[in-house]
Amino acid sequence: MTERIPAAAAGATAACEHAVRRLWDYLDGRLPETERERVAAHLEACAACSSHFAFERSFLDALRGLRRSDDEFAALRARVAAALRQDGRRDGLADAVGDVSD
């Protein structure tokens, strides 16, 4: 295992900037294998970036936990469209809201 660089000593190196700029893609699994390995190696060695990574991962996990299921969203759209139609909307908004095909 690589010795971890203390956060205070890490500073904002070029390697840190490279890793931090790629964290979102890293967390989403959208990096090519070589980039993923480069970021992972840096996160293992750098306490400052590892801490930044942990925060971003927790943030994304919290956001994912707030997301409703597709079924719940479709049901909400249908209720909104029905309410708009019941109120006599004739401008196409109710149809646009009620179209859950996208």
Query: Is the residue at 1 inside a domain?
Result: no
Return the bridge partners of 46, or none.
5
Report the candidate in 75, 55, 71 with the shortest Cα–Cα distance to residue 63. 55
Digit-coded pLDDT (tens) for 41-53: 999 999 999 999 9
Weakly modelled stretches of the chain, pLDDT under 70: 1-12, 68-69, 89-102
User: Same domain, yes or no, for 46 and 96?
Assistant: no
The verdict on pTM exceeding 0.75 is no
Report the candidate in 57, 2, 66 with the shortest Cα–Cα distance to residue 26. 57
User: Same domain, yes or no, for 48 and 94?
Assistant: no
Residue 11 pLDDT: 56
Structural domain that includes position 31: 7-66
User: Same domain, yes or no, for 19 and 49?
Assistant: yes
Residue 58 pLDDT: 92
Residue 33 pLDDT: 96
Q: Provide the residue type at 14 as one letter.
A: A
Number of domains in the chain: 2
Residue 89 pLDDT: 61
